[in-house]
Amino acid sequence: MNARGRMSRRELLKVTALAGGGLMLELSLNRPATAEELSTLLSSRELNAYIRIAPDGEITIYSSIPEMGQGVKTALPMIVAEEMGARWEDVKIIQAPIDESRFGLQGAGGSTSIPNNIGAMRRMGASAREMLIGAAALLMEVDRADLDARDSRVVHRSGESRTFGQLAALAAEQPVPDPEMLSFKDPRSYTIIGTAVGGVDNLVIATGQSEFGIDVDVPGMKYASYTSCPRVGGKAIRFNEAEIKGLPGIADAFILAPDDRAGRASMGFLNGLAALRGGVAIVGDDSWSVFEAKRRLDVKWDTTGASDDDWSRMVEQAKGVARKGNGETLAAGVSVDEALADPENRVHEAFYQFPYVAHVCMEPMNCTAAYRKGQGGEPDTLEVWLGSQFPAQVKEIAQNMLGLAPENVIVNPKRLGGGFGRRAVHDFATEAMAISHRAGVPVKLTWTRPDDIHNDLFRVGGFENMKGAVNPDGKLAAWDQHYIGFAKGGKPVIGSGLRGNELPQSVMKNARVRQTMVDVATRCGAWRAPGSNTNAFVEQSFLHELAVLAGRDHVEFLLEQMEPRRWVTEGNVNALNTGRAMDVIRLVAEKASWGKEMPEGSGQGMAFYFCHAAHVAEVAEVTVDADRNFRVDKVTVAVDVGPIINMSGAIGQVQGAVVDGLSTMALQQITMKDGVIQQDNFHQYPVMRIGSTPAIDVHFIQSDNPSTGLGEPALPPLAPAVTNAIFAATGIRIRSMPLSAEGFNLV
């Protein structure tokens, strides 16, 4: 690295003296940085926070990542505050505006917010601390080596101290430390990280102050609904326009033609998903009027080439494919056919299936958009308010669909009433922008719950045909897995198919994995722990089936697969580590008293899964009655995601994932017939209610691996833990979700 490179890197950290004597430390890109600068110092996605200290001592930390209930708005500032030596009570958190040139990637997905940002947060905090210490050394005329920052003060060895507020003005004049020279606190001296801190917005939420996208109210705003063709790919030809426009409270109604330009996305996995679908927009004076008008809508659709997906046909087709048994080979194994044919071995085959499911965020998708015509030669502008996992994507849509330059688009991120992957895609924002553009007024588009379900990007369903063999010693001899999933244009949709790091083939010696993809028109998307949330069910259930076949204890059988302790991909700390896996399996077994005597009709089931760099094992205890009513009495969870930042948030995420996993596996299924989604609202697509909530006992192994995210990885092991427990209680093996469709009723 040359001297010039160093200089320019220094410029990335900018200090601003505030009027009134404050300090603002900003990670700033006031000119385009070169890719080299970014990657050598702070990779661009880490540039996302700044700290402000007011003379009265109030510390403001900006949080740039969308908050959707995963707790990032609390956890990331905790890291900053810890390193700088602030008292948490003195810290105020403000959601940063959307400006990726300044903050880097402002997105939330894939449980990456913590791992992607922890380094930058620490450097921000440590830089501020060094500058405050520098200021105190000057002011107190002491050696900086004798100074330390804690409790929002810089304290001298002698006990004399200054508050951060007193130091802020002078600190702003201190040189910004070289990021490479920064030192970090010893984790043993942490006072904030690892403690239980309540969500920073709890007061706002508990008192009902408006905060979510759906609460936005803009002067002159109208309300809008949109009805897209029930069959994906169709478009509107005409509708009962005169009748609709004559209804009370209705200002306008019009057809929008499909527009694929809006779907073009630079983030590959989002490409195509936010395209405008053909449909009818209604604009009126309030939500109720446009919803009522929507109910009376009578549209003539052109369904040429539209989806004719049919779930029952998919099931039949998949069974046919499984019988043929071929497919693309992802892993060949060593001698799978020999082991399956060996008369000494016991062999077992089973067909598993899992349904399409919807996100049903509690806050239905909505977006407010104000398209404003430029006056006197000024360019047109657009302002957008929404809850989004990747808010900057909205600018891209506006550019592609409406030709607006990014600087003429303002995006106001709002709290998300649930994300779970759904709000990574902005088809609803596309609609709101197109409607405002056409209607010439600001509009708030709210999807009804049926819109929200019909137009979801579903967790993809699928099938797996499993074969396995155990040898006379009760050891696994062969694993033969055939995944039958769904693709668009030859590419598996998000969440469909198997990946190289998948369990158990990544640790097994003799595993064959094959895959067959069938084309689908139904829209699919990322759903909390994509892929893992279904693969865990199949693989961890079938592994249990083989343990039973071998007459072995499940935990012992599982541990045997993990031997010896190792990283599956050497040198990659985000890979599966079989030692960490064994540790969580042993811990959960101990905490749940694995193998204890269970009453008649009750049983324990266990599952382990690795995803998002997290190792998680769960034990479920269930009770089943003669009518197949079942309750999950208790779930014990052991997690290794490295050191925990916010203990309260972490436990909450695990509890939530367990409830979500149970709700989904027990109750939820989306089906399609002739291309039309069959479920309209919660009466046909229920969510688990409070009465079914098990006791949830959460344990963390705070290994010295890097801290990683926890929004997703506690969900996948829940389903197989429950079905394995039902098998232990009843001898009945469940190979298809949801359990309600198998006659098992969650109580």
Residue 691 contacts which entry, another protein, ligand FES, none (Cβ below 5-8 A, type-dependent): another protein
Closest to ligand FES by CB, 193 vs 688, is 688
Question: Under rule CB under 8 A, which residues in 289-318 are in contact with another protein?
Answer: 289, 291-292
Are the C-beta atoms of 23 and 17 separated by less than 8 Å?
yes
Taking CB within 5 to 8 Å according to partner kind, which of ligand FES, another protein, none is near residue 60? none
Q: Which residues pair with 354 in a beta bridge?
A: 462
**What is the pairing mode between strands 50-53 and 59-63?**
antiparallel
Distance CA 281, CA 253 (A): 5
Contact 345, 477 (CB under 8 A): yes
In the complex, minimum distance from the CB of residue 69 to ligand FES, in angstroms, rounded to a whole number? 5
68 binds, among another protein, ligand FES, none (CB under 5 to 8 A by kind): another protein
181-210 residues in contact with another protein (CB under 8 A) are 196-199, 201-203, 205-210
626 binding ligand FES? (CB under 6 A) = no
Binding mask 49-88 for another protein (x = CB under 8 A): -------------------xxxx-----------------
Closest to another protein by CB, 184 or 288: 288
- Which residue in 398, 657, 670, 734 binds another protein (CB under 8 A)? 657
Pairing of strands 59-63, 22-27: unpaired
Q: Quote the CA–CA distance of 737 and 747 in Å, as a whole number.
A: 16
Q: Which is nearer to another protein, 593 or 684 (CB)?
A: 684
Closest CA to 126 of 182, 189, 55, 63: 182
- Residue 45 beta carbon to ligand FES: minimum distance, rounded to whole angstroms: 26
Q: What is the CA radius of gyration of the chain?
A: 28
Cα separation, 549 vs 571, in Å, equals 36
**Sequence-separated (6 or more) residues with CB below 8 Å from residue 8:** 33, 34, 37
Report, in Å, the least distance between residue 251 CB and another protein.
Answer: 14
Select the residue interacting with another protein from 106, 225, 448, 679 (CB under 8 A): 448
Closest CA to 545 of 746, 307, 726, 331: 726
Instruction: Measure CA of the first residue to CA of the last residue in the chain; give whole Å.
Output: 64
The residue (of 258 and 418) whose beta carbon lies closer to ligand FES is: 418
Bridge partners of 253, per DSSP, are 282
Give the alpha-carbon dihedral of 201, 203, 205, 209, to 10 degrees: -110
- Which residues contact residue 207 at a Cβ distance below 8 angstroms, ignoring those fewer than 6 apart? none
For residue 254, the minimal CB distance to another protein (Å) is: 22
Beta-bridge partner residues of 463: 353, 484
Residue ranges in 78-97 that form contacts with ligand FES under rule CB under 6 A: none
Q: Which residue(s) pair with 516 in the sheet? A: 484
Burial of 516 (0-12, 13-18, 19+ CB in 10 A): buried
Hey, is 637 helix, strand or coil?
Answer: strand
Whether the Cβ atoms of residue 698 and residue 588 lie closer than 8 Å to each other: no
Q: How far is the CB of 364 from another protein (least distance, A)?
A: 7
Write down the least CB distance from residue 746 to ligand FES, Å: 19
The neighbouring-strand residues paired with 631 are 623
Cβ atoms 591, 602 nearer than 8 A? no
> 113-140 and 72-84 helices cross at what angle (nearest 10)?
30
Binding mask 361-380 for ligand FES (x = CB under 6 A): -x------------------
Binding track, positions 258-287, relative to another protein; x by CB under 8 A? ----------------------------xx
Please work out, in degrees rounded to the nearest 5, the angle formed at the alpha carbon of residue 641 by the alpha carbons of 635 and 645: 100
Residues 496-555 that bind ligand FES (CB under 6 A): none
Q: Give the shortest CB-544-to-another protein separation in angstroms.
A: 25
Residues in region 405-434 near ligand FES by CB under 6 A = 418
Dist. CA 150–CA 52, nearest whole Å? 17
Question: Which token pair is 372?
Answer: 């404003």
Q: Are 514 and 449 in contact (CB under 8 A)?
A: no
Provide φ and ψ at 210, rounded to 5°: -70, 140
Residue 548: which of 535, 557, 559, 561 has the closest Cα? Answer: 557
**Least distance CB 295 / ligand FES (angstroms):** 16
Residue 69, interface with ligand FES (CB under 6 A)?
yes
Is the Cβ of residue 335 or residue 693 nearer to ligand FES in the bound state? 693
Cβ 51 to another protein shortest distance, Å: 24
Judged by beta carbon, residue 163 or residue 366, the one nearer another protein is: 366
Q: CB of 433: closest distance to another protein in angstroms?
A: 21
Least separation in angstroms between residue 201's CB and another protein is: 7
With CB under 5 to 8 Å by kind, the binding choice for 415 among another protein, ligand FES, none is another protein
Residues 6+ apart with CB under 8 A from 323: none
Nearest distance, CB of residue 663 and another protein, angstroms: 7
Q: Does 115 bind ligand FES (CB under 6 A)?
A: no
Per-residue mark of binding to another protein, 667-706 (x: CB under 8 A): --------------xxx--xxxxxx-x-xx----------
| Tokens of residue 405, six digits | 């330059």
- Among positions 34-53, residues that touch ligand FES (CB under 6 A) are none
Nearer to another protein, 309 or 452 (CB): 452
Nearer to another protein, 42 or 658 (CB): 658
Q: Which stretch binds another protein (CB under 8 A): 88-96, 426-434, 583-591, 644-652?
A: 644-652
Instruction: Return the closest-CA partner of residue 195 out of 78, 111, 285.
Output: 78
Answer with the entry of another protein, ligand FES, none that 683 interacts with (C-beta below 5 to 8 A by kind).
Answer: another protein
Give the nearest distance from C-beta 2 to ligand FES in angstroms. Answer: 51
Find the binding residues for another protein in span 236-255 (CB under 8 A).
248-249
Q: Could you say whether residue 417 binds another protein (CB under 8 A)?
A: yes
Site residues (CB under 8 A) for another protein, limited to 542-571: none
Q: How far is the CB of 206 from another protein (least distance, A)?
A: 4
Detail the DSSP E strand segments found in 157-203: 161-163
Task: Provide CB contacts within 8 A for 484, sequence distance 6+.
Answer: 318, 321, 322, 327, 462, 463, 464, 465, 515, 516, 517, 518
In whole angstroms, the minimum distance from the beta carbon of 656 to ligand FES comes to 8
Q: Which is nearer to another protein, 152 or 287 (CB)?
A: 287
> Which of 28, 389 has the CB closer to another protein?
389
Closest CA to 61 of 4, 117, 136, 137: 117
**Contacts with another protein in 371-390 (CB under 8 A)?**
none
Separation between Cα atoms, residue 582 and residue 584, nearest integer Å: 6
Which of 313, 303, 310 is CA-nearest to residue 673? 310
Residue with tokens 């977006």: 367
**How near is the Cβ of 627 to another protein at its closest, in Å?**
20
Helix (H, G, I), strand (E, B) or coil at 201: coil
113-172 binders of another protein (CB under 8 A): none
Q: Does 55 bind ligand FES (CB under 6 A)?
A: no
Q: Three-class SS of residue 511?
A: strand
| Residues near another protein, by CB under 8 A | 68-71, 196-199, 201-203, 205-212, 214-215, 217, 223, 248-249, 286-289, 291-292, 360-364, 415-420, 446, 448-449, 648-649, 652-653, 655-660, 663, 681-683, 686-691, 693, 695-696
| Residues near ligand FES, by CB under 6 A | 69, 362, 418
